[in-house]
Amino acid sequence: MIQTIDLRGSEPTPAALLASVPRALTSVAVAADIAAELIADVRERGGAALLDQAERLDRVRPGQVRVPASHIIDAVAGLDPAVRTAITETIRRVRLASAAQVPPHTTTTIEAGATVTQRWQPVNRVGLYVPGGKAVYPSSVVMNVVPAQVSGVRSIALASPPQSHFDGRVHPTILAVAGLLGVDEIYAMGGAGAIGALAYGVEDIGLEPVQIVTGPGNVYVAAAKRLIRGQAGIDSEAGPTDILVIADAAADPLLVAADLVSQAEHDELAAAVLVTDSPELAEAVAARLIALAESTTHSERVTAALRGRQSAIVLVDNLQVAAAFSNAFGPEHLEIQTSDPDAVLETIENAGAIFLGPYSPVSLGDYVAGSNHVLPTGGQARFSSGLGAYTFLRPQQVVSYSREALQGVADHIAALSNAEALPAHGDAVTARFTADR
């Protein structure tokens, strides 16, 4: 069902650990050419390209790309009460946690009359992508929209693929959640073409370019986000999901297996990895995976993910090596199910989000923990972070000097500008103190 990687009896170097990390063969780089073609098509033909791409890739041609307000109103009215209650609570929790990600403005007084203020300025307009291929993700609407609103973004455009089961409309649950959050600029478009449309704008459907594009998606969405970087900012290349569980003999094999399956059901390319120093736990988890994969709703998808080269049970000599392997993997989701999870946490450097103990499963973070589930995948947690209010904020330094304060450093500026052979820099300061100017 799932491969075993045995690292026992060795002391792998960081380079060796990186080489041993299991990854899917399908990469963002492989998808880049197709994504580039789709984006170029949208830039050339606008809304017609988006409609054609929907018909070809989503197997349905929407009546229009821009979602009418009436569709949103109908969706809100028809939302299941239990889902509405759950979404309302999720919004409350994510809003609370996101608010902690907005730093206060801070002014530093360098000396009398000389201050530098650090402020955090939100971008004005963002494009948020909510996938809709193998599943519907109303929770991703919350995870994208709430941090943007908390940061102070004023203009939000949301894109989600048209659904063949709903006559080419965006999934009504996604529309309903967007409506509850006050988002009314929604487009029935998906995949790489949608990412390009958000970044460059589409004049004939009234879509203005955005400054930042965020949200998860498949490998083509991730490739498109890489391609539009520079035209617009992105959060991360959030492609097929992954989970890594560090566990020892104290862990419950059923819970470990259940958590691996919970992420494997997202996509055949999803990565599910257990790293343990307990051969007995590894054997028990492997057996549980077979049973759970056979009985779960998306059995074929889960089985394909677990059998893929990106999934594995990794045997190590101790938890120190387990942590080193995890840091090399850079998991989107890291669970620590050990007798002392806090001690293991101290050795962790790279992870999108971390879940401690048996009662903090990734499923909690996917929905109502208050944390954000839009996280870097494919090892990008080694150098990037998940989506948050800070994603939409830019640190800006505001410099304010009085005449006296500037005069006090004028000689320093002249000396440095002359040393760099840029005397006009110094002259610009001296001009402010020239009597006959």
pLDDT, residue 28, reads: 80
314/350 same-domain check: yes
Among residues 207, 235, 263, the one where a domain terminates is 235
Among residues 205, 235, 265, the one where a domain terminates is 235
Q: Considering the entire predicted model, what is its pTM?
A: 0.93
279/417 same-domain check: no
For residue range 34-93, list pLDDT tens digits in order. 999 999 999 999 999 999 999 999 999 999 999 999 999 999 999 999 999 999 999 999
- Which one, of 337, 350, 274, 284, lies nearest residue 311 by Cα? 274
pLDDT, residue 132, reads: 85
pLDDT, residue 216, reads: 87
* Dist CA 433 CA 410 (whole Å): 9
- Which one, of 221, 178, 219, 217, lies nearest residue 196 by Cα? 221
Check pLDDT > 70 for residue 292. Answer: yes
Catalytic residue among 333, 335, 346, 412: 333
Is 71 a residue of the active site?
Answer: no
Q: Which residues are annotated as a binding site?
A: 241, 263, 266, 333, 366, 420, 425
Is 300 a residue of the active site?
Answer: no
Give the position of tokens 């009398």.
Answer: 112
Give the position of tokens 């450093």.
Answer: 409
- Which one, of 422, 424, 426, 398, lies nearest residue 412 by Cα? 426
Q: Which residues are annotated as a binding site for substrate?
A: 241, 263, 266, 333, 366, 420, 425
Check pLDDT > 80 for residue 192. Answer: yes
62/188 same-domain check: yes
- Which one, of 32, 391, 385, lies nearest residue 211 by Cα? 391
Q: Tokens for 360?
A: 């903090």
301/348 same-domain check: yes
Q: Secondary structure of the chain in the HEC alphabet?
A: CCCEEECCCCCCCHHHHHHHCCCCCCCHHHHHHHHHHHHHHHHHHCHHHHHHHHHHHHCCCCCCCECCHHHHHHHHHCCCHHHHHHHHHHHHHHHHHHHCCCCCCEEEEEECCEEEEEEEEECCEEEEECCCCCCCCHHHHHHHHHHHHHHCCCEEEEEECEEHHHCCEECHHHHHHHHHCCCCCEEECCHHHHHHHHHHCEHHHCECCCCEEECCCCHHHHHHHHHHECCEEECCCCCCCEEEEEECCCCCHHHHHHHHHHHHCCCCCCEEEEEECCHHHHHHHHHHHHHHHHHCCCHHHHHHHHHCCCCEEEECCCHHHHHHHHHHHCCCEEEEECCCHHHHHCCCCCCCEEEECCCCCHHHHHHCCCCCCCCCCCCHHHCCCCCCHHHHEEEEEEEEECHHHHHHHHHHHHHHHHHCCCHHHHHHHHHHHCCCC
pLDDT, residue 236, reads: 87
pLDDT, residue 437, reads: 58
68/202 same-domain check: yes
Whether 118 is in a domain gets the answer: no
Catalytic residue among 171, 332, 335, 373: 332
Among residues 201, 235, 269, the one where a domain terminates is 235
For residue range 168-181, list pLDDT tens digits in order. 999 999 999 999 99
CA 397, chain centre distance (Å): 27
pLDDT, residue 258, reads: 98
Check pLDDT > 70 for residue 436. Answer: no
**Domain assignment of residue 418, given as a range:** 402-432
Average pLDDT over residues 129-152: 92
225/249 same-domain check: no
Average pLDDT over residues 349-370: 98
Whether 306 is in a domain gets the answer: yes
For residue range 103-135, list pLDDT tens digits in order. 999 999 999 999 999 999 999 999 999 998 777
**116 phi and psi angles, rounded to 5 deg:** -130, 120
pLDDT, residue 217, reads: 86
Q: Tokens for 10?
A: 């060795």
Task: Compare 434 and 275 and report the one with higher pLDDT.
Answer: 275
75/203 same-domain check: yes
**311 phi and psi angles, rounded to 5 deg:** -110, 150
Question: CATH number, domain at 145?
Answer: 3.40.50.1980
For residue range 423-435, list pLDDT tens digits in order. 999 999 999 998 6
In this structure, are strands 125-129 and 114-122 parallel, antiparallel, or unpaired? unpaired
pLDDT above 90 as % of the chain = 91
Domain count for the chain: 3
202/244 same-domain check: no
For residue range 69-84, list pLDDT tens digits in order. 999 999 999 999 999 9
199/244 same-domain check: no
Whether 14 is in a domain gets the answer: no
Mean pLDDT of the chain: 96
